[in-house]
Amino acid sequence: MDTFELPALLAGPIVRRVETHQIVIWMATSKHYAVHPELFTIDTDSKPFIYEPVPIQNEQNTVKLGKSLFVHLLKIIPANGLFPADQLLGYNFTFSNNGECFDLHDLGLLTAENSWSIVYGDLKYPSLFIKGSDQNSHFLYGSCRKVHGEGDDTLILGDALVEKNHIDIVNRPNSLFLTGDQIYADDVPDPLIRIISKFSELLIGRRESLHELDHRLSHEPFKESINQINGRQFIMENFCQFTSGSAHNHLIEFGEYAAMYLLSWSPVLWELAQEYDLFESFHDAFDNNHIYFRFPNTDYYQKEHLQEKKLLKNRYFAEQELITSFQHSLYRGARLLANIPVYMIFDDHDVTDDWNISDGWRRAVRQSALGRHVVSNALASYWAFQGWGNNPDAFDECFVSIMKDYMDGLINGDMKKHHDKWVQLLWSFNHWKFVAPTFPKALFLDTRTQRKFDLKPKPVKIGSIIEETNPPPQLINKIEWQQNIKHLLFSSGWKKNSPLVIVSATPVYGMGLIESFLHNYVYPLKVLGVNVNTKFDFEAWKYNGKGFSTFLNHVSKWEPSPCIILSGDVHYGSAVHAEIEFNDGRKMAIKQYTASPIKNMSFTKLWGLLMKIAVKANTINRTNKDIYRYCDHSYCIHRLDERQQPDKDKYVWMDKLRYQPVSHHSIIEIQNHLGHLTYSDQSCKNELLK
């Protein structure tokens, strides 16, 4: 890895927050470049197109995250007045460093004939527009994009839609919402983990001194296995106290998280890995002792070792094929990100599966020095690659200063110098939520770090087993609702009786038939000793009736008209309309649309067959039919017959649900897809691109 240099531009440009008073664009480079933007209005009615320069000011914010990793957030500010709304704008960047000077054209990114071009059609530059009018807002949305996920990367369908309408701003999508699991930190493919670790060291300039956090990493087998394929499951479970069942290659170091983001956003590192032949075959990895085996190759374990080798070989080959498919889609994915404002929020896999699933999980991980450190690395990388661009003003000088100080220490080999302060900052930070300046405005909720864990035991019956257990968490605590979220929304300029989009990583309204399927086929596994709470993610708004009711209560008091919820997480697409009535007479209507996964089909093989049977059986019964429910004062939710009407003193709220068809008359889509929502004059049209 010391025989070559990283390319100048590692990822980007990615368009982030776009408003009439600022355009924010993100990129990552291998050197500290001064970056100078150019902005143009594009007159597409003229042939050829006319490009008029726009007077601008540039505010460059750069953080050095490693010896060869610099993340830039460019704020392009109008020199006079405001940027024009509903006007196609093109942009370019010039990079300079010690006599070196080049722009996006010099990198080949503006040459339409190149496969890595980021321009559409006959345009000279990547383009964007600032939505001004209140007609035909087009949102793309989705979640769960895994490098080696099953199926094709449907982000390219968003690219195709923008390409089709690239000069038609009435029909061109004006925002992309990524609603969680932009990376899978816990589920990393075997053929990629050692390449990620190599790039990590090259980006940062050194490896992290993890043995300073846990001395057991200085001893075998962990000293070697942590650097081997398939070698981290025991470490993550027993040293970090994580619960992911797919942690055999879990990301640990900050540089590994950074490398995974670069590999997810851009084809650059993939091309570098191919150019320098960094991909190993399974046989080479085996011969070079790069694979960790639970069963050693000894006479005593020979049978088990050969069986394990066969399983790992099959997994390796399957993942190799899937990541090759992903790599080919990255060129079009990168083009999309360069031409549309992108707003992102985390879910658990951006950090680790089951992140903050329970109070016990959080306490156990926080008490583990290594676990606490890995979560901090994940959040630091989330900030640098996702969170910072959502709302730069949410991160003040103190926050950025602490990040810079820690990274400087990490680069210079003194990881502990600012470590405690850095960890405390990231574990206590509560401003990941934000409002996107779209029309309608979009409130992105943080359902991971602001949870409330109820410690009262709850009786649960599974089969013939009756036991007490901690209830699932409220995904957002009461104080966060009452003070922070409300203040954030109204200070953004949003007003009552205006349309509002709420983005929740996990659906507020789940699909009853999916939950019934899980309850009937998965929950009974607990009788056999399977930890279903962490294995199958029994966490959602509906699983805590009090938290669900708090959500409905607060949102209803804002009086959005209409209220639209966009979500992902659950690996199926759906649409549900709900009408809610509270016991004090308040009423609210909600339209919820779920799109997941972008690339990670989960209901395959036996689970897929069972799910398809369940879907087919329930679609006829549920399509265009109303479901009635009520919530009592103990926050238990009950089904109602249409003819029933509970007394007002017996319920907190009642609702009526209707599931809408989303695919071939089915109310569920389990293939990979990307959501496309069109909002116009208080009407919504939702489709799933697949």
Q: Which tens digits make up the pLDDT trace of 54-93?
A: 999 999 999 999 999 999 999 999 999 999 999 999 999 9
Whether 149 has a pLDDT exceeding 70, the answer reads yes
Instruction: Classify residue 198: in a domain, yes or no.
Output: no
pLDDT of residue 569: 94
Phi, psi (degrees; rounded to nearest 5) at 377: -60, -45
Instruction: Classify residue 105: in a domain, yes or no.
Output: no
Q: How far is CA 689 from CA 513, 573, 595, 673, in A?
A: 23, 10, 10, 5
Q: What are 360-383's pLDDT values in tens digits?
A: 999 999 999 999 999 999 999 999
Instruction: Classify residue 16: in a domain, yes or no.
Output: no
pLDDT of residue 528: 45
pLDDT band per the 50, 70, 90 thresholds, residue 511: confident
Domain that holds residue 666: 438-446+454-689
Residue 596: helix, strand or coil by DSSP? coil
pLDDT of residue 133: 76
Alpha helix stretches (DSSP H) within 412-537: 419-428, 478-479, 486-491, 512-521, 532-535
pLDDT band per the 50, 70, 90 thresholds, residue 612: low
In sequence order, the β-bridge partners of residue 38 are 92
Instruction: Classify residue 465: in a domain, yes or no.
Output: yes
Q: Name the nearest CA neighbour of 91 among 82, 80, 83, 99.
A: 83
| Average pLDDT, integer, range 151-155 | 96
Q: What are 295-351's pLDDT values in tens digits?
A: 998 999 999 999 999 999 999 999 999 999 999 999 999 999 999 999 999 999 999
Whether 3 has a pLDDT exceeding 80, the answer reads no
- Find out whether 75 and 22 touch, Cβ atoms under 8 Å: yes
pLDDT of residue 602: 81
Instruction: Classify residue 217: in a domain, yes or no.
Output: no
Whether 518 has a pLDDT exceeding 70, the answer reads no
Whether the bond into 48 is cis, omega within 30 of 0: yes
Q: What are 186-235's pLDDT values in tens digits?
A: 999 999 999 999 999 999 999 999 999 999 999 999 999 999 999 999 99
pLDDT of residue 534: 38
Whether 238 has a pLDDT exceeding 50, the answer reads yes
- Tell me the pairing of strands 653-659 and 574-582: antiparallel
Element spanning 316, H or E: helix 302-337
Amino acid, res. 557: K
Going by the DSSP 8-state scheme, the letter that residue 122 receives in this structure is T
Instruction: Classify residue 341: in a domain, yes or no.
Output: no
| Average pLDDT, integer, range 499-527 | 71
- Find out whether 379 and 350 touch, Cβ atoms under 8 Å: no
The pLDDT > 70 percentage for the chain reads: 90
What is the total count of domains within the chain? 1
Residue 421: how many CA atoms within 13 Å on its side-chain side? Answer: 15
Q: Name the nearest CA neighbour of 432 among 419, 445, 414.
A: 445
- Other Cβ atoms within 10 Å of 316 Cβ, number: 21
Residue 107: helix, strand or coil by DSSP? coil
Which DSSP string corresponds to 559-579?
--SSEEEEE-SSSSBEEEEEE
Instruction: Classify residue 255: in a domain, yes or no.
Output: no
Average pLDDT taken over every residue of the chain: 91
Amino acid, res. 247: A
Q: How far is CA 26 from CA 10, 14, 37, 63, 378, in A?
A: 11, 5, 12, 12, 19
Whether 555 has a pLDDT exceeding 90, the answer reads yes
Q: How far apart are CA 385 and CA 391, in angstroms?
A: 12
Instruction: Classify residue 145: in a domain, yes or no.
Output: no
pLDDT of residue 543: 82
